Structure 1
């Protein structure tokens, strides 16, 4: 079997799109006769504390679904104090540095970016070792950091991040971009860089879905499932949402920095018709969502290069998408007839769209679910994407 290494800041049992995306890539490569090893931190995301079964461990090596997973030490933190967050990033960066310097690594390595510091260290050492480095870019940093206002333009941190960004693009053997905008940006810096589009397609297709439509329940059940962080802006969204007089409910599943604010707000506003359920395991979540109707996919602001993987994940489960994030994701929803779009940050338009959805009724949405599922099954296929890249000898 051909050996390949994946370096990522996230991996199951951690939750979220990033961990799921890397796991699916690892499993698909293994299914295509690759011996896959993943290097990642000890599990700590999103709470910023080690999972109970990993506490007191400096490093762990384990086998999960035929994937060798090497988990290195990290000082975990999701604190609002910038010093603690920086120290957390540096702790795993140092663990990774010494591992790559002193341990034997395969000739082919996939490096996830962001985080920029981790990808910089990885690409630096791998280039010195003359390894084939495949950079998997899921978001454009520091552009996203500036747009989310978590970094100031022309600050020292911004200039450092720009240096890291250009270095990894230059030194990587080839680059996967999760969106067309990412590839366009990279080519604006390095026009001849070998880039391939690699969408965050899911790997949970089944031949048919038994869509549940209880004729006795007319309420349209809208849901958001995922990270409750700065980029998603769920706390602001629930304050602005006006569904009290509509035949619509919003159900929220997830965890993250805004969790406590969301819980407190909903406790103080029980008439909002918004319900918080916490974090569920992925399989349990998918089972729970069988009676739901529409997936809400928001971003706090338009982030250049970002395409939320939830568009592909939930359309593959037959859910029409209500997209509220702008950019390339908006075009994907529109061009593929996956549901509805509202201009990002325009809550008046979002509420008007919800009135439109309410007027269409649950029966029309039920018919739409089948069309969305069939379209996603044909066009958002991870097996086809991986097979095409293997034929091109990318891996």
Structure 2
């Protein structure tokens, strides 16, 4: 019985299916893997609302929802949803879920081990605070370095609020028994904070078997695809209005987010917006394109876009325009081309010189082979479960 209790785990996350995106996909893969490793998994998350900022149909007017799903029991808690650009409104939204989470932690019986998705800061702090009070074993998943990332993106300024977030961040690090980071930069940053907690690198490697790359006829027409969040950090709308595409090159955009309406109404030549589609359908459609585009407005320390691993896995060579550790990963593993972040002239120059002959440099089969060899979900997950079992 004691061993069985040790195989129970609670996962607290701000994002979970049916929501889409890197965080949701990563947490679902974790839940599935833990379930298949004989863990009894519980999930606590908000009522689904991301990225639209509105509670999904089927969950509206609910304060609480508990459903037994295939790999876990999922507890969805009330929040006041918002994707507003107003910082105060977004803070209230995060605090509303923190309030619901506090009630859950106080009144519900929870397992000894609790896996906490750190970002957003207030949600992560609330979860760590109560898990610490209740003497739980805390596994902290750090996918980005808030508040540092907010400072680098211009969303935060140094002052009282920033200092408060820093104190909350350090508290979460100190109280954790294992810290998982999605990049080596994240782990290096945490080490510099003087944290003695055990650290583990856990990249956003997807858990799916890629389809066989179909044989396609050589064409002078080149289709580039962007598939992901359409947010301020990605800057896709700005690129749509500043990059000139030659007649033989098209940019196709999939996704949702704060910039989606602007992109939808953008009349730029050779740019097509397709909205948001299911992940399985998207992975199948990606074979229609020759290059996957991965941009960020600025290099964000600690950030490694999950699209690197997902889109190279289906065989798409990458056009990487985001800098940082991700740039090194793309270059060292021969997954595509890298352009200095925020250098529009260099990006335009690359596009102007792009021809079907240039695609031979990184063909689809070699890109897929390289990423499968370098990034194996099962090997990484096995190492993670060994760490979890040892806590």
Taking structure 1 as the reference length, the TM-score comes to: 0.94
Choose the corresponding residue for 1:134, options 135, 139, 143.
Answer: 139
Equivalent position to 1:377, from 362, 372, 376: 372
Give runs of aligned pairs for residues 153-192 of structure 1, distance below 5 A.
Answer: 153=158, 155-192=159-196
- 1:261 matched to which residue of 2? 262
**Contact 2:179–2:200 at 8 Å: present in 1 too?**
yes
Q: Does 1:219 align with 2:214?
A: no
Once the two structures are superposed, the pairs formed by residues 80-229 of structure 1 within 5 Å of their partners are 80-153=85-158, 155-206=159-210, 209-215=212-218, 217-229=219-231
| SS of the residue 2:354 aligns to | helix
1:357: Cα distance to partner?
A: 3.2
Q: Secondary structure at the match of 1:265?
A: coil
1:83-132 Cα shifts (integer Å, max 9, x gaps): 32222111111000110122111111110021111111111111111111
Q: 2:323 matched to which residue of 1?
A: 326
Deviation at 1:40, TM superposition (A): 0.2
The reply on whether 1:250 has 2:251 as its aligned counterpart is yes
Aligned twin of 1:342: 339
Which stretch shows the higher mean deviation, 234-243 or 89-98? 234-243
DSSP-derived class of the 1:54 partner:
coil
Alignment size in residue pairs: 385
Give distance in 1, aligned partners of 2:355 and 2:137. Answer: 52
1:46 alignment counterpart: 51
What's the TM-score once normalised by structure 2's chain length?
Answer: 0.95
Question: What is the RMSD computed on CA atoms of the aligned residues?
Answer: 1.5
- Superposed, which structure 2 residues align to 1:309-324 within 5 Å? 309-324=306-321
Structure 1 runs not aligned, ≥5 long: none
Question: Conserved in 2, the CA contact under 8 Å of 1:205 and 1:377?
Answer: no
Work out the CA distance in 1 between the residues paired with 2:352 and 2:35.
Answer: 47
Separation in 1, partners of 2:380, 2:245:
39
- Are the counterparts in 2 of residues 40 and 70 from structure 1 also a CA contact under 8 Å? yes
The one-character-per-residue Cα deviations of 1:150-197 (angstroms, maximum 9, x if unpaired) are 1112x2221111111111011111100111100010000124221010
Residue 43 of structure 1 contacts residue 51 of structure 1 at CA under 8 Å; is this kept in 2? yes
Moved over 4 A (4+): none
CA contact (8 A) 1:170 1:190 kept: no
- Post-superposition offset of 1:361: 4.5
